[in-house]
A and B are shown apart, each in its own frame.
Chain A
Amino acid sequence: MHSDLSNLRGQLEAIVGQDQVVAGVAGTAAFAVDGILPELVVRPGTQDEVSQVVAACARIGAAMIPWGGGTAMGLGNAPTRTQVVIQLDRVNRVVEWDPANLTITAEAGMRLAALQELVAKERAIFPLDPPADHRVSLGGMVAANQNGPSRLRYGTVRDWVLGMRVVLPDGQRIHCGGKVIKNVSGYDMNKLFIRSLGTLGIITEVTFKLLPMPAQWASMIGLFPDLAGARTVVEKAMASFLLPESLDLLNPEAVALLAPSLGIPVAPGTWGIALALAGSPETVARQDRDFAALFQEAGGQVAPVPAGQTSRTWRAIRNLLDGAHADNPARILCKITVPIARTCDLVAAAGELGRRCGLQAAVMAYAGSGVIWALYLPAMDAVPGSPVASALEALRGEAAAAGGSLVLHDAPSPLKRQVDAWGEPGTGLGMMKRLKAEFDPRGLCNPGRFVGGI
């Protein structure tokens, strides 16, 4: 170990205690990012310790990688440097839980499922549903902008964060926002850190807005012989007054992945729509009826989800692609975004890519939100000039031409060397680079993983 780093190890041990600093391959192997091992893993126990750890790293110019539940570590490009992983799972306290005002303030390392469980006791919900809720940390969810199917009804992380505490790349602690649902006291600093993938600082605490728990949840699956039928349902639903919580479109490979959880036989080539409804018994019943009619008119078969199975089925759906074949090092998981009207086109194109490249392509879209997830398996060994890289670039081109993007959320490292994880961020990149230079001039926080080499 470099002498600066061994000095750092001593300093970090003095801050967090000897047993909370890990060095050596055995301890750090689980914290590799794109195959690169950190020198040290440090586990601060409080927000103040995070600040001291960051300040100590900054003094010697050590590159820092914040780590929550590790659910977004495949997102982005390979880091240009990895020295210290700062693991936040011990910084996981509830700071203030205010049921009457429907707000909760908790530390970044807390798991989303734990927060959900806590607020459910007072009949409140945090309405977003990213995959892997038992693993995803609050800080990671916010920093990586992790959302799920329910974004159709509830929006994304940026719509639910009221305030946060952040440790800046020099160790300084700041506070943004507050706990009231309207707040224009100065710039909206929360937005600077949401979705920044830890490149401007480390989020240590978040205040969320919550909702009262809906009286009822229901779910319905529609099975269609082709995309055209499913597409009709999506378009009619979006033009109607109906307000589903989630409206997911699944291609046949995605339906095949889900079929075991449904417990019903599904013919090959079947497309699916997974629908979640939430609200009063009256509005759920009305939507249930209207959607059943829509499904049938479009030539679909309704596969009702038994009342007691709604949450289990939805857990399977939200984790479907994120969790599938997670141990396969060859898997490629992409997120494609387009204006809502183009969603079905890109679902088709993403499936077509699989057929062209000899990959199995499971595609699932948050159909009313313009977000498409594509999981490709098994990826061939990516070699320069391989069709996968150029096919992904072509698909990205199609998304970009529609005004959207394609981002690699998980991909083999060799492929990431050929295909930038993000693509071209547009004319705002200059401003982004200036912000990065202002907040982290030496490029210490998650260097190289974000857009444009940030």
Chain B
Amino acid sequence: MTEKTFVEELRQIVGKANVLDGSVDLQLYQYDGFLEERRPEAVAFVHSTEEVARVVEVCNRHGRPFVPRGGGTNLTGGTIPFKGGLVIEMIRMNRILEVDCTSLWARVQPGLFNLELGNALAPMGYQFLPDPASQKAATLGGNVAENAGGPHCFKYGVTTNHILGMTVVQADGQVVQLGGTAPDPLGYDLPGVFVGSEGTFGICTEIVAKIARLPESVKTLLAIYDTIDAGSRTVSAIVAAGMIPATLEMMDQLVIQAVEASLHCGLPLDCATVLLIEVDGLRDDLELQAKAIEDLCLAHGAREVRQAKDDTERNLLWAGRRGAFGAVARLAPSFLVCDGTVPRTALPEAIRKVAEVALKYDLRIPNVFHAGDGNLHPLILFDWRDADQKARVLKAGMEILALCASLGGTISGEHGVGLEKLEAMRLVLSEADIETQRRVKRTFDPRNLANPGKMFPAPEEVVCAQ
């Protein structure tokens, strides 16, 4: 009996049409939002936990690395098959399996888009709180893998704060249930360790997500500033006044101009920055909170504060914020998104220093911030065909991360390490810290087959049969 090839075995599990290995098809799976490209050996579309388990078992037997891929919205190279092998395409596992509004959870498959879950819950009066700006195209499996954030997480926490349990196919193909629908599951917090592991422990095939009641009321404010410094100082002032808005977002002039050119949200083109502030909760004090925030903004130098009159105005403002990355694509052929985070009070200084980096490397760097949690997204513009410029971009990106670390912050707030920040890990972690993380990786994936080459500097070699 002749042994079947890797690809033949995959076809037997998921069906002939669900395995791609033609070069044109593979080209589509060799990149994401980061700058690197690596071609996989094959792509398999999966439809159930059982299929994922069998596919991973085949990868194990053949010593092939595997990378799960959802919406591919990752910005740090997390979905690039760095060591080749198989891309496991999760996008067809996109069903909502069960919603329990009394126990406040929804059981979903990982290929479901974040926004689709929100759209399904809203008519029932509920929501899933993590809301990455890419929620239209980002899957919940990807949110789990990256521990995604979003505007809401200043008040409500990031993905890990909203995951109760999950079904996981371990790197050896075994299926395990971590956590569940009850609080405080027994033993170590394995869902907590798994969330944010960037596909390097195994593949999550089912998610029990916490859901919450939609707020009774929401008020949305837009504060407009002539200097970016005044805007960033307002952020700390709002929190110092004892308020925790649901969102505290900031965009600078270049971003505003790009957003206006593509989305026409009514943002003033001549201002230095805007703050998009939303308060939510019981209706009784929201008008007062909104007024207090308006006063603070004006006292800190806002030239104007607008309040969205209705849902249409509110949605327009949010369309602008959520579309910011897309709109910035008008400004240059490529951009690198930085994801440094600083303590909130260091925001004005961080912004000044990012501007210095732009000057030093002769680059344009528009900025979008989750200002409430000190998370900066400098978008370094460049032309990928210009090798010299690309080299300067990478240096500038690293310098921005270093300045965030030196201000008491960190190198990634919500986009993850992936391939982009392997070396930057050393800015915030000691060798002992990194080695301890590697020990966790070895525990879950001793053969280093699950998304190898990511997360850690000096990646370990794949133990590969090939």
Known: A175-B430, A432-B188. A180 touches B374 (CB 8 A): yes
Q: Is B406 part of the binding interface, using a Cβ–Cβ cutoff of 8 Å?
A: no
The 8 Å CB contact of A282, one of B190, B195, B284, B442, is B284
Pairwise interchain contact A283-B281, C-beta atoms closer than 8 A: yes
How many Å lie between the Cα of A445 and that of B306 in the bound state?
58
Question: Which of A179, A181, A235, A370 sits near B183, CB closer than 8 Å?
Answer: A370
Contact B181 A186 (CB under 8 A): no
Closest to A407 in B: B186
- Residues on B with beta carbons closer than 8 Å to the beta carbon of A101: 343-345, 374
Is A425 positioned at the interface, with any CB of B under 8 Å from its CB? yes
Our pick among B187, B341, B439 for the contact of A182 (Cβ within 8 Å) is: B341
Give the chain A neighbours of B436 by CB distance below 8 A: 168, 172, 174, 189
Shortest distance from the beta carbon of B230 to any chain A beta carbon, whole Å: 17
**8 Å CB interface, A128-182 against B:** 145, 155-156, 158-159, 168, 172-176, 178-182
Selected contact of B410 from candidates A180, A194, A423, A425, CB within 8 Å? A180
Whole-angstrom CA separation of A186 from B434 in the bound complex: 8
| A355 interface contact, C-beta 8 A | no
Interface residues of B in 403-444 (CB under 8 A from A): 408-417, 421, 424-425, 428-430, 432-434, 436-437, 439-444
B182's partner among A281, A286, A403, A450 (CB-CB below 8 A) is: A403
* B157 (CB) vs chain A CBs: closest residue: A159
Stretch at the interface among A209-217, A266-274, A299-307: A209-217
Across the interface, A195 reaches (CB within 8 A) one of B158, B188, B414, namely B188
Residues of B within 8 A of A200 (CB): 188
Residues of B within 8 A of A243 (CB): 281-282
Interface centre among A188, A405, A424 (most CB of B within 10 A): A188
Report the Cα distance A426→B187, complex, angstroms: 9
B161-195 residues with Cβ-Cβ distance < 8 A to A are: 161, 170, 174-178, 180-190, 192-193, 195
Q: A313 in the interface, Cβ–Cβ < 8 Å?
A: no
The answer to whether A185 touches B428, judged by C-beta atoms less than 8 angstroms apart, is: yes
Task: Establish whether residues A428 and B343, one from each chain, have CB atoms under 8 Å apart when the complex forms.
Answer: no
List chain B residues, Cβ under 8 A from A18.
none
Q: How far is the CA of A188 from the CA of B239 in the complex (A)?
A: 26
Q: Which one of A65-73, A109-117, A332-340, A379-387 contacts B? A: A332-340
Smallest CB–CB gap between A213 and chain B, Å? 7
B264 touches A (CB below 8 Å): no
The 9 closest A-B pairs by CB, nearest first: A191-B192, A404-B182, A212-B242, A241-B216, A282-B285, A182-B413, A341-B102, A339-B103, A425-B186
Interface presence of B199 (CB below 8 A): no
- Cα–Cα distance between A432 and B243 once the two chains are bound (Å): 40
A427–B444 CA distance with the chains assembled, in angstroms: 14
Contact A183 B443 (CB under 8 A): no
Question: Whole-angstrom distance between the alpha carbons of A215 and B411 in the complex?
Answer: 35
The reply on A233 being an interface residue by CB < 8 A is no
A431, B170: Cβ atoms closer than 8 Å: yes
Judge whether B187 and A339 touch: CB under 8 Å: no
- Chain A contacts for B180, CB-based, 8 A: 403-404, 426
Docked-complex contact A182 and B184, CB < 8 angstroms: no
Other A-B pairs, 5, CB within 8 Å; known A184-B146, A339-B181, A370-B183:
A123-B242, A184-B415, A188-B196, A238-B102, A280-B284
* Residue in chain A with minimal CB distance to B202: A431
Counting CB contacts under 8 A, is A220 at the interface?
no
Q: Chain B residues near A337 (CB, 8 Å)?
A: 182-185
Q: Which of B21-29, B87-95, B147-155, B310-318 is found at the contact surface with chain A? A: B147-155
Count of chain A residues near B, Cβ 8 A: 90
Contacts of B417 in A (CB 8 A): 184-186
Closest to B407 in A: A180
Nearest Cβ distance between residue A84 and chain B, in whole angstroms?
23
B residues near A155, Cβ cutoff 8 Å: 157, 161
* The residue from A185, A211, A426 contacting B429, defined by CB atoms under 8 A apart: A185
B184 touches A282 (CB 8 A): no
Interface contact B213-A282, CB-CB below 8 Å = no
Which of A4-12, A252-260, A320-328, A433-441 is near enough to bind chain B? A433-441
Q: Is B342 an interface residue (CB 8 A)?
A: yes
Task: Determine the distance from Cα of A156 to Cα of B175 in the docked complex, in whole angstroms.
Answer: 28
* Distance, CA A97 to CA B424, complexed state (A): 27
Asked if A434 contacts B443 (CB within 8 A), the reply is yes
B215, CB-defined interface residue at 8 Å? yes
Q: Check B236 for interface membership: any CB of A closer than 8 A.
A: yes
B residues 343-370 near A (Cβ < 8 Å) are 343-345, 370
B105 near A184: Cβ-Cβ < 8 Å: no
Q: Is B373 an interface residue (CB 8 A)?
A: yes
Given A337-B182, A435-B440, answer yes or no on A182-B375 (Cβ-Cβ < 8 Å).
yes
CB-contact partner of B176 in A175, A196, A427, under 8 A: A427
Quick one: which of B187, B197, B282 has the most chain A CB within 10 A? B187
Interface assignment of B288: CB less than 8 Å from any CB of chain A: yes
Beta-carbon contacts under 8 Å, B437-460 to A = 437, 439-444, 455-456
Q: How far is the CA of A200 from the CA of B187 in the complex (A)?
A: 12
- Kindly state whether residue B461 has any CB partner on chain A within 8 Å: no
| Closest beta carbon of chain B to A369's beta carbon, Å | 6
Query: Which of B158, B288, B424, B443 has the most A CB atoms < 10 Å from its CB?
Result: B443
Contact B102 A194 (CB under 8 A): no
- Report A-chain residues with C-beta under 8 Å of the C-beta of B410: 178, 180, 183, 185
Contact of B195 among A188, A196, A403 (CB under 8 A): A188
Closest to A122 in B: B240
Residues of B near A32 (CB, < 8 A) are none
A178: which B residues are within 8 A, CB to CB? 408-410, 428
When distances are taken between beta carbons in the complex, the residues of chain B under 8 Å from A430 are 174, 176
* B8 close to chain A: CB less than 8 A: no
Q: 21 pairs across A/B with beta carbons < 8 Å? A: A98-B343, A145-B184, A155-B157, A156-B184, A178-B408, A178-B409, A180-B342, A181-B153, A182-B149, A183-B413, A184-B415, A185-B412, A186-B429, A189-B440, A283-B284, A370-B183, A371-B184, A405-B185, A428-B176, A434-B443, A438-B440
Which chain B residue shows the least CB distance to A429? B187
Known contacts A178-B409, A186-B455; A191 and B193 CB within 8 A of each other: yes
Closest B residue to A406 using CB positions: B186
Q: How far does the Cβ of B119 sit from chain A's closest Cβ, in whole Å?
A: 21
Q: Which of A174, A279, A371, A428 contacts B187 (CB 8 A)?
A: A428
- Residues of B289-337 contacting chain A, CB below 8 A: 289
Scoring B residues 228 to 256 as 1 if CB is less than 8 Å from chain A, else 0, what string do you get? 00000000100111111000000000000
**Which residue of chain B has its CB nearest to the CB of A402?**
B182
| A349 CB-CB contact with B under 8 Å | no
A361 at interface by CB-CB < 8 Å = no
B345 touches A100 (CB 8 A): yes
Bound Cα distance from A250 to B309, whole angstroms: 45
Looking at the assembled complex, report how far the CB atom of A257 sits from the nearest CB atom of chain B, in whole angstroms: 24
By beta carbon, the residue of chain A nearest B164 is A339
Contacts of A403 in B (CB 8 A): 180-182
B160 proximal to A (CB < 8 A): yes
Whether B189 contacts A184 by the Cβ 8 Å rule is no
Q: Using a CB-CB cutoff of 8 Å, which residues 74-131 of chain B contact chain A?
A: 100-105
The answer to whether B375 and A188 have CB atoms under 8 Å apart is no
A431 near B103: Cβ-Cβ < 8 Å: no
A60 within 8 Å of B (CB atoms): no
**B183 and A182 within 8 A (CB):** no
Per the 8 Å Cβ criterion, residues 255-293 of B in contact with A are 281-282, 284-285, 288-289
Cα A427 to Cα B216 in complex, Å, equals 40
Q: What residues on A are CB-neighbors of B183 within 8 Å?
A: 156, 337, 369-371
Q: Which residues of B contact A98 (CB under 8 A)?
A: 343
A103 to B428, CA, bound (A): 18
Min CB gap A212→B, angstroms: 4
Measured between beta carbons, the chain B residues less than 8 angstroms from A103 are: 343
Q: Are B285 and A280 in contact (CB under 8 A)?
A: yes
Residues from chain A with Cβ under 8 Å of B442 in the complex: 438
Set of chain B residues within 8 Å of A192, measured between Cβ atoms: 188-189, 192-193, 440
Residues of chain A from 400 to 454 with CB closer than 8 A to chain B in the complex: 402-405, 407, 422-432, 434-435, 438-439, 450-452, 454
Alpha-carbon distance between A297 and B12 when the two chains are bound, in angstroms = 62
